[in-house]
């Protein structure tokens, strides 16, 4: 209950409260989503929103920043410790802004970046022609190995030697395997160019010790804070000390104005949470859950890109089931299972339709679901797709979804 919004703005309150019900009563399998703690929410919804603090701790363009300096310093020190980084900038408003600032720090417009395309698991901000990245920089791409659907570092090296990029980027939105930081670092250093990692999806797995750290192999690392890391919407940039000044300048004044101090405080809370022993258990469970989900889906005849997962996500090729990604997303939403359609490598469908769905376990792991629940969810997904034209079975599945949700209450402290 938000009593003040409730009494002042019932129209808005009603939509907010319906969204809470939706989150409570659906199985959230969108790989980039999570449920933040009430502590993180408290920081986000606080009076820190009121302050302007352009600049950095000790060097602000506004007065009255002594407490904001303490808050930002806490966030910086925690981020550095969590990821074993020499430098941290905690101001980026979002992952795309963090990538914009990182490119700006490392390159001049028009210079060349080696990355992977969106349909192969990359992100819009890794060179898509409809994004600032593709408009301002010259991108060349390596692909996944056609057989294994994994990154082949030898092929990346070949493309890098041929194309001579000014920056090599290792980062993915839909790659279910470990990111090869060490090999990318070696290739970049052989070419004497910086190596950047975008760990937006797997930051929580790195912090929790179930995925290798990009340092010391990479020079600059960007991440969102709201996916596996389970913090507020936002991002950070970590780097080696020699890039620190350039990164800070590229964030402010290069690409942003005043920082969102309330979000920086919320990032600090989330980093402290990620330092607790329980977060290590959480990260382990995310991966165990993803593996259990993957194994059961394969038993049901689904084809998984790369044949499984090492991380929090599973990329399902739906072609053997004769349904598109868009159709599957819509039909699963009907039974309150929340997923997103996703391109698969070499997808014959357009991005609006796709042949795949991407599933992830961070959010449901936060709710306390375990491997046996994941197997049950795989059964429900399979049943939904098989019986997609049978409304009676679909409504029965929806009841089963609600029963499972009830066993794992979300935000019981919020009435
Ligand atoms: C690898 C990667 N980088 C960057 C981003 C961008 O984050 P944001 O949506 O905060 O701009 C995402 C988000 O999905 C991502 O997956």
DSSP assignment string, 208-224: TTSS---TTT-SEEEEE
Co-location of 132 and 202 in the same domain: yes
Contact 219, 166 (CB under 8 A): no
> Under DSSP, is residue 99 helix (H, G, I), strand (E, B) or coil?
helix
Instruction: Judge residue 319's burial from the number of C-beta atoms within 10 Å of its C-beta, 0-12 exposed, 13-18 middle, 19 or more buried.
Output: middle
Measured from the CB, is residue 96 less than 6 Å from ligand 1?
Answer: yes
> Residue 367: CB within 6 Å of ligand 1?
no
- Residue to mutate, 33, 95, 343, 360, ligand 1, most ligand atoms under 8 Å from C-beta: 95
- Ligand 1 touching residue 225 (CB < 6 A): no
DSSP 302: P
Q: How many Å apart are CA 387 and CA 12, to the nearest integer?
A: 36
Regarding the beta carbon of 123 and ligand 1, being less than 6 Å apart is answered yes
Atom of ligand 1 nearest to the CA of 201: 16
Q: Which atom number of ligand 1 is nearest to the Cα of residue 99?
A: 4
- pLDDT for 139 equals 98
The response to whether residue 211 sits with its C-beta less than 6 Å from ligand 1 reads no
The number of domains in the chain is 2
Inside any domain, residue 190: yes
Nearest-atom number in ligand 1 for the CA of 226 is: 10
Residue 16 lies in a domain: no
Nearest atom of ligand 1 to the alpha carbon of 171 = 1
Closest CA to 201 of 342, 73, 75, 297: 342
CA 181-33-167 angle, to 5 degrees, is 30
Long-range contact pairs involving 54-62 (C-beta distance under 8 Å, separation at least 24): 54/252, 54/253, 54/257, 54/258, 54/259, 55/252, 56/248, 56/252
Is the CB–ligand 1 distance for residue 171 below 6 Å? Answer: yes
State the residue for tokens 């066993």.
Answer: 407
Of the three residues 274, 296, 314, the one that is the final residue of a domain is 274
Give the ligand 1 atom nearest the CA of 235.
10
| Cα 71 versus chain centre, distance | 24
Looking at residue 158, what is its pLDDT? 97
Q: Ligand 1 mean position to 196 CA, how many Å?
A: 15
Q: Retrieve residue 348's tokens.
A: 């014959």
Ligand 1 within 6 A of CB of 125: yes
Q: Residue 364: name the closest of 381, 389, 352, 351 by CA.
A: 381
Do 217 and 310 belong to one domain? Answer: no
- The DSSP string of 4-61 is HHHHH-HHHHHHHHHHHHHHHHSEE--TT-----HHHHHHHTSGGGG----EETTEES
Together in a domain, 354 and 380: yes
Is 351 in the same domain as 266? no
Instruction: Give the whole-angstrom CA distance, residue 132 versus residue 243.
Output: 22
Q: What is the per-residue DSSP string for 215-274?
A: TTT-SEEEEESSSTT---S-EEEEE-GGGHHHHHHIIIIII-SS--HHHHHHHHHHHHHH
The CA 136 to ligand 1 mean position distance, Å, reads 18
Find out whether the beta carbon of 236 lies less than 6 Å from any atom of ligand 1: no
Structural domain includes residue 199: yes
Integer Rg of the chain from CA: 22
Decide if 15 is inside a domain.
no
Same domain flag for 294 and 176: no
Last residue of a domain, one of 274, 295, 317: 274
DSSP assigned state of 180: -
Residue 142 lies in a domain: yes
- Is 64 in the same domain as 121? yes
Neighbours of 41 (CB within 10 A): 15
Whether 304 and 390 map to the same domain: the answer is yes
The length of the chain, given as a count of residues: 415
Please tell me the distance between residue 239's alpha carbon and the centre of ligand 1 in angstroms.
18
Question: Tens digit of pLDDT per residue, the chain (415 long)?
Answer: 788 999 999 999 999 999 999 999 999 999 999 999 999 999 999 999 999 999 999 999 999 999 999 999 999 999 999 999 999 999 999 999 999 999 999 999 999 999 998 889 999 999 999 999 999 999 999 999 999 999 999 999 999 999 999 999 999 999 999 999 999 999 999 999 999 999 999 999 999 999 999 999 999 999 999 999 999 999 999 999 999 999 999 999 999 999 999 999 999 999 999 999 999 999 999 999 999 999 999 999 999 999 999 999 999 999 999 999 999 999 999 999 999 999 999 999 999 999 999 999 999 999 999 999 999 999 999 999 999 999 999 999 999 999 999 999 999 999 8
| Residue of 69, 91, 90, 70 whose CA lies nearest to 80 | 90
Q: Which residues pair with 102 in a beta bridge?
A: none
CA distance 74 to 83: 14
pLDDT value of position 1? 74
CB count in 10 Å sphere of residue 407:
10
Cβ-based neighbours of 108, under 8 Å, separated by 6 or more: none
* Ligand 1 proximity of 199 Cβ (cutoff 6 Å): no
Q: Which tokens in the block code for residue 95?
A: 């992952």
Bridge partners of residue 224, in order along the sequence: 235
Q: Is 342 in the pocket of ligand 1 (CB under 6 A)?
A: no
Mutate to test the pocket of ligand 1, among 98, 102, 173 (most ligand atoms within 8 A of CB): 173
- Residue ending a domain, among 249, 274, 299, is 274
Among 224, 228, 260, name the best residue to mutate to test ligand 1's pocket (greatest count of ligand atoms within 8 A of Cβ): 224
CATH number at residue 291: 3.90.1150.10
Could you tell me if the CB of 94 is within 6 A of ligand 1?
A: yes
Specify whether 45 is located in the same domain as 66: yes
Q: Please tell me whether residues 256 and 323 are part of one structural domain.
A: no
Task: Please report whether residue 377 resides in a domain.
Answer: yes
CA of 173 to the centre of ligand 1 (A): 7
Residues 259 and 332 reside in one and the same domain: no
pLDDT of residue 288: 98
Q: Tell me: do 62 and 101 sit in the same domain.
A: yes
**1 lies in some domain:** no
Please give the residue range of the domain that contains residue 297: 284-407
- What DSSP designation does 147 have? T
Query: 30, 91, 96: which to mutate for ligand 1, most atoms within 8 A of CB?
Result: 96
Looking up residue 122, the CATH number of its domain turns out to be 3.40.640.10
C-alpha 96 – ligand 1 centre gap (Å): 6
310 is a domain residue: yes
Q: In terms of domains, do 138 and 198 share one? A: yes
């Amino acid at each position: 209950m938000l009593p003040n919004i409730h009494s002042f703005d019932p129209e808005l309150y009603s939509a907010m409260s319906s969204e809470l019900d939706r989150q409570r009563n659906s199985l959230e399998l969108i790989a980039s989503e999570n449920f933040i703690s009430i502590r993180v929410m408290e920081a986000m919804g606080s009076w820190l929103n009121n302050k302007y603090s352009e600049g950095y701790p000790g060097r602000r363009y506004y007065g009255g920043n002594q407490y904001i300096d303490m808050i930002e310093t806490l966030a910086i020190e925690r981020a550095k410790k969590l990821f074993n980084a020499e430098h941290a900038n905690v101001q980026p408003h979002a992952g795309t802004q963090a990538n914009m600032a990182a490119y700006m720090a490392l390159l001049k417009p028009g210079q060349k970046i080696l990355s992977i395309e969106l349909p192969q698991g990359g992100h819009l901000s890794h060179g898509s022609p409809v994004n600032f990245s593709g408009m301002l920089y010259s991108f060349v791409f390596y692909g996944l190995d056609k057989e294994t659907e994994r990154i082949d570092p030898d092929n990346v090296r070949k493309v890098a030697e041929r194309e001579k990029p000014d920056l090599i980027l290792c980062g993915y939105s839909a790659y279910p395997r470990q990111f090869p930081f060490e090999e990318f670092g070696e290739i970049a250093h052989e070419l004497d160019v910086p190596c950047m990692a975008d760990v937006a999806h797997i930051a929580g797995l790195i912090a929790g010790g179930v995925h290798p750290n990009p340092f010391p192999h990479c020079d600059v690392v960007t991440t969102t804070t709201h996916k596996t890391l389970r913090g507020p919407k936002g991002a950070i940039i970590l780097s080696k000390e020699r890039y620190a000044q350039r990164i800070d300048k590229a964030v402010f004044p290069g690409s942003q104005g005043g920082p969102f101090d309330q979000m920086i405080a919320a990032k600090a809370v989330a980093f402290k949470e990620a330092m607790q022993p329980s977060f290590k258990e959480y990260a382990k469970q995310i991966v165990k859950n993803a593996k259990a989900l993957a194994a059961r889906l394969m038993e049901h005849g689904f084809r998984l890109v790369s044949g499984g997962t090492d991380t929090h996500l599973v990329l399902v090729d739906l072609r053997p089931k004769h349904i598109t990604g868009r159709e599957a997303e819509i039909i699963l939403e009907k039974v309150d299972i929340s997923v997103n359609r996703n391109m698969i490598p070499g997808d014959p469908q357009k991005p609006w339709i796709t042949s795949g769905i991407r599933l992830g376990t961070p959010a449901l792991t936060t709710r306390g679901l375990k491997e046996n629940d994941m197997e049950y969810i795989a059964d429900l997904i399979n049943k939904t797709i098989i019986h997609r034209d049978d409304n009676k079975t679909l409504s029965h599945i929806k009841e089963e979804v609600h029963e499972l949700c009830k066993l794992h209450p979300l935000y019981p402290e919020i009435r």
